[in-house]
Structure 1
Amino acid sequence: MRILQIINSLETGGAEKLILDTIPHYVKAGIKMDLLLFWDDDQPFVKALRALDCCNIIILKTSSNKKDIYSPGHIFKLKKILKNYDIAHVHLFPAQYFAVFAKMLSGAATKLVFTEHNTTNRRIQNKLFKPVERFIYSKYHKLVCITEEIVEIYARYLGSKDKLALIHNGVDLSKIKTAVRYAKQAILPRLTPADKIIIQVAAFRPQKDQATLIRSLVQLPDEFKLLLVGVGDCLEACKELVATLKLQHRVFFLGQRMDVPRLLKSADYVVLSSHYEGLSLASIEGLASGSPFIASNVPGLREIVEGAGLLFDEGDAAGLAQHILALDQDPALYSKVVTRCEEQAERYDISLMVDKHIEVYRSL
């Protein structure tokens, strides 16, 4: 069985990180798996996967222009490649569309699987896109949904659950558990041992809400410092907000990092402020970090965090700050939340997810 994973790129993001982390596990399980990217500009995730030497990486376009992801020419290149694989597992838009068109043009017998990573898809709510979306989904043999809520959304939209498979995302928990904590000044020379570190690991995209986390710092004492890991289109707006609030001495942008487990282990509080999620890998990593995990009370986070970590209302900077202060002032509560978070994380080990995907592949 030869499987091709197809995704727009391996730029920072949850779906992209999932590809990086899972392919070695599939190969170890005896699955022949390769990866196709529409675009790359020497991304760190690509370098990391190459270093593992576990799969072929096919890149259709290398350039400095991320918009090359959307080039229709990829369809014709993909058409020639698909027939070499039994299954193509597709992630994100426009890969979702391009894979269908390439299969139609090629006449390949390749079975198509698509993972729906988010609870929100504006195209299924758009009158112009609705018939197109239904057509695209009809060409997939299996639709993997990463949360129960996504299953319900697409069961209503498609009128049936026949093609749907519920498979929660997973994280390699061993990487988090065995990560070695940094001394604070090893992260940044400006940090001191007395500083209390808050961290968020997330791409700077409209879906995320780093702005609320930044604003929460105004209501916290000066010893609380914020580390923001990630890159993306909204990064500059967040930097401007930090300057406006005069928080440059307390908020630090670390860019894309490959040592996230160590950074999480070094933080005192892990936060994910967002407007919506699918089943966020960052949230599972946060739960497993050994620090309290605090997240927005929004779809895709509520289901994972409730009863383990702490939730604050979307956009409520004051509520977020109050949670952090309550934990800081009550060591017993701090320890209780950490224990609950770690127990919850065990439900999302990567091996469980990989086994379920292999079952789907073998059923096709």
Structure 2
Amino acid sequence: MKILHIITSLELGGAERLLTELVPYQKKEGNFVKVMILSDKGAVFKKELEDKGIEVIVCKSNSIKSLNNVFCIYNEIEKENYDIVHVHLVHAQYWTSLVRVLDKNKNRKYITTEHSTSNRRRNSKILKLIDSFVFRRFDKIVSISEATETSLKKWLGRDDSSFEIIYNGIDIKEFQNAIPYSKNELGIKEDDYLLMMVSRFHESKNQKGVIDSLKWLPVKYKLIFVGDGKLEKDVKDYCEKNNLTNRVKFLGMRKDIPKLLKTADIVIQYSFFEGFGITAVEAMASGKPVIASDVPGLKQVVSGAGYIVSIDDSKELAKAVLALRSPENYKNISEKCLERSKDYTIEWCANNYLRLYERELKC
């Protein structure tokens, strides 16, 4: 098969991370695969894909909002005559839906994956009409969890055979076999207890809530944030305002996530909403206990293995952290998390997508 993945960008995020694992596997299985991005700003995963032998095309306008993206996408599809066009994230969905209207090849299949349970568009009646148009241009709409699908169906007012669920997956061994840093290398004392959150600084994440939990924890508990984003300065200011700068470090964008997760004592995924929570799976595969907020996408992944806590109660989060002081409990939760991560392998995920493509091409 000839497959083109189109995604808004390759910045730090669950959808972007998924592609770095999914696309190389699809190529390894004998398919011709390329990735197209609308903008390469903050594209931390671009080099990783290229190092794995994947060609990444950047639209000429290098802007997620340019109308020229329609022509760039259309020209690439026509040039290579792809069998499958697989689209991720909202701006890529919008522009590609217009390409579908122009595309005369009715045998070509257009697939999209919805990666989140919520977004700001879902507060607008006008955008609901636009989304209804956009999603009807795709032959199959894949959701990464039951919660994501339920939310999308409700938003679109549809429930038909075009919907399907395929969970995200990761390369389990990459995280199991990672070699940790010494805490000193990260500016933390070896006998300190290291909490870590890997995430964008975005409205969907609650880094401030994690900072608040430190108020209920002994001084030896330190916190590291990995990632960047438009709200990073706001969170740093909040940290300074609460006199916690000596207990919190901001590492910014990093490419050594497996090593960092392996160094942490506890990994926290504290989100207001989450389609799936791929970082939570990565942390579990690292053999670390995970504490996640009680939101549908994360709850599905973590519940029964790690701890689930309220998104608006930093004291409850601190209690979950303290519950892991017991070596026996820490070992038990870590083992449960590691075992749970095995449910979400990239092999399972990629094979399900390939079977979906094959079914669609036969229609």
Tell whether the structures are fold-level matches, with TM greater than 0.5.
yes
2:235 paired residue number:
238
Q: Secondary structure at the match of 1:255?
A: coil
Give the C-alpha shift of residue 124 in structure 1: 4.8
CA distance in structure 2 between the aligned counterparts of 1:158 and 1:112, rounded to whole angstroms: 21
CA distance in structure 2 between the aligned counterparts of 1:256 and 1:23, rounded to whole angstroms: 22
**Contact 1:226/1:251, CA 8 A, preserved across alignment:** yes
For residues 314-340 of structure 1, give each alpha carbon's deviation from its aligned partner in whole angstroms, at most 9, with x where no partner exists.
121111111111211x21111111111
After TM superposition, the score normalised by the length of structure 1 is 0.94
CA distance in structure 2 between the aligned counterparts of 1:168 and 1:44, rounded to whole angstroms: 23
CA distance in structure 2 between the aligned counterparts of 1:61 and 1:19, rounded to whole angstroms: 21
CA distance in structure 2 between the aligned counterparts of 1:261 and 1:62, rounded to whole angstroms: 34
1:266 paired residue number:
263
CA distance in structure 2 between the aligned counterparts of 1:336 and 1:51, rounded to whole angstroms: 37
Percent identity over the alignment is 34
CA distance in structure 1 between the aligned counterparts of 2:272 and 2:122, rounded to whole angstroms: 18
With over 3 angstroms needed to count, the CA separation of the structure-2 counterparts of 1:286 and 1:161, relative to structure 1, is farther
2:73 paired residue number:
78
How many residues matched?
356
Counterparts of residues 97-246 of structure 1 (less than 5 Å): 97-109=94-106, 110-124=108-122, 126-156=124-154, 157-188=156-187, 191-246=188-243
CA distance in structure 2 between the aligned counterparts of 1:214 and 1:37, rounded to whole angstroms: 34
CA distance in structure 2 between the aligned counterparts of 1:294 and 1:361, rounded to whole angstroms: 35
- Further displaced range: 153-162 or 9-18: 153-162
**Contact 1:296/1:313, CA 8 A, preserved across alignment:** yes
For residue 252 of structure 1, the aligned residue among 221, 229, 249 is: 249
With over 3 angstroms needed to count, the CA separation of the structure-2 counterparts of 1:62 and 1:259, relative to structure 1, is farther
Which consecutive aligned stretches of 4+ in structure 1 deviate over 4 angstroms post-superposition? Answer: none
CA distance in structure 2 between the aligned counterparts of 1:6 and 1:165, rounded to whole angstroms: 19
2:22 paired residue number:
22
Q: Secondary structure at the match of 1:57?
A: strand
2:58 paired residue number:
59
For residues 74-102 of structure 1, give each alpha carbon's deviation from its aligned partner in whole angstroms, at most 9, with x where no partner exists.
11221211222111100011111100102
1:353 paired residue number:
349
Give the C-alpha shift of residue 160 in structure 1: 2.4
Q: Which amino acid aligns with 1:46?
A: K
1:313 paired residue number:
310
Gaps of 5+ in 2: none
Q: Secondary structure at the match of 2:251?
A: strand
Q: Which amino acid aligns with 2:168?
A: N
Q: Which amino acid aligns with 1:134?
A: S
**Contact 1:144/1:166, CA 8 A, preserved across alignment:** yes
**Contact 1:82/1:108, CA 8 A, preserved across alignment:** no
Q: Which amino acid aligns with 2:109?
A: K
Q: Secondary structure at the match of 2:296?
A: coil
2:322 paired residue number:
325
CA distance in structure 1 between the aligned counterparts of 2:334 and 2:42, rounded to whole angstroms: 37
2:310 maps to 1:285: no
Give the C-alpha shift of residue 62 in structure 1: 7.1
Give the C-alpha shift of residue 357 in structure 1: 0.3
